Amino acid sequence: MKIPYLKKKPELKSCHNVTWEDNYSWIHQDDILEVLKDKNKLNPEVKEYLDNENDYANHHLEDTKKIQKDLFNEIKGRIKLDDESLPYKDHTYQYWTKTTTEGNYSIKLRKKIDTNSIEEIWNGDKEKEKLGVEYFGVGDLEVSFNDKYLGYSLDVKGSEYYTISIRDIEKSTLVSSEIPDTSGSITFSLDDRYIFYSKLDENHRARTIYRHKLGTSIEKDELIFKEESDAFTVSIGLSSDEKYFFITTSDHNTSEQYYFEAKENKPNPKLIKKRKKGVLYSVNSWKNKFYNHTNEDAEDFKIEIADSLENQNWKDFVPAKDEVLIGGCTFLNNWILRSETSDALDKIFAKNINTGVEEEINFTDEKVIVPNISLIQKDKNTDTVYLSYSSPKTPSQVYKYNLATKEKSLVKEQEIPSGHNPDDYIVERVEYKSHDGRLVPLTITRHKKTKLDGSANLLLYGYGSYGSSMSPIFSSTRLSLINRDIIWATAHIRGGMEKGMKWWKEGKLTNKKNTFEDYIFAAKFLIENNYTSKGNIIGMGGSAGGLLMGAVVNSAPELFLGIIMAVPFVDSLTTNLDHSLPLTIGEFDEFGNAKDIKEHFDYIYSYAPYNNIKKMDYPNILITTSLSDNRVLFDEPAKFTAKLRDYKTDNNLLLLKTEMNAGHGGKSGRDGAIEEIAVDYAFALKIAKKI
Query: Catalytic residue numbers?
Result: 543, 629, 664
Enumerate the β-bridge partners of residue 97: 108
Question: Closest Cα to residue 447, out of 434, 439, 456?
Answer: 456
Helix (H) and strand (E) counts for the chain? Answer: 13, 39
- The DSSP secondary-structure symbol of 492 reads -
- 605 near 639, Cβ under 8 Å? no
The sign of the torsion formed by the CA atoms of 396, 401, 407, 412 equals negative
- CB-based burial of residue 173 (10 Å sphere; 0-12 exposed, 13-18 middle, 19+ buried)? exposed
Phi, psi for residue 423 in degrees, rounded to 5: -70, -10
Count of all residues that appear for the chain in the document: 691
Walk across the sheet containing 315-318 and list its strands. Answer: 281-286, 289-294, 302-306, 315-318
C-alpha 515/C-alpha 629 separation (Å) is 24
- 478 near 428, Cβ under 8 Å? no
Phi, psi for residue 96 in degrees, rounded to 5: -160, 170
- 257 near 246, Cβ under 8 Å? yes
- CB-based burial of residue 2 (10 Å sphere; 0-12 exposed, 13-18 middle, 19+ buried)? exposed
- The DSSP secondary-structure symbol of 377 reads B
Question: Closest Cα to residue 604, out of 615, 593, 619, 596?
Answer: 593
C-alpha 86/C-alpha 295 separation (Å) is 34
C-alpha 211/C-alpha 188 separation (Å) is 9
* 37 contact partners, CB below 8 Å, separation of at least 6: 157, 159, 161, 628
Q: Output the 3-class SS for 120-131.
A: EEEEHHHHHHHH
- 571 near 636, Cβ under 8 Å? yes
DSSP-derived 3-state class of residue 88: strand
Angle, to 10 degrees, between the axis of helix 513-528 and the axis of helix 544-555?
Answer: 60
Cβ count within 10 A of residue 648: 19
DSSP-derived 3-state class of residue 37: helix
DSSP-derived 3-state class of residue 678: helix
Cβ count within 10 A of residue 220: 8
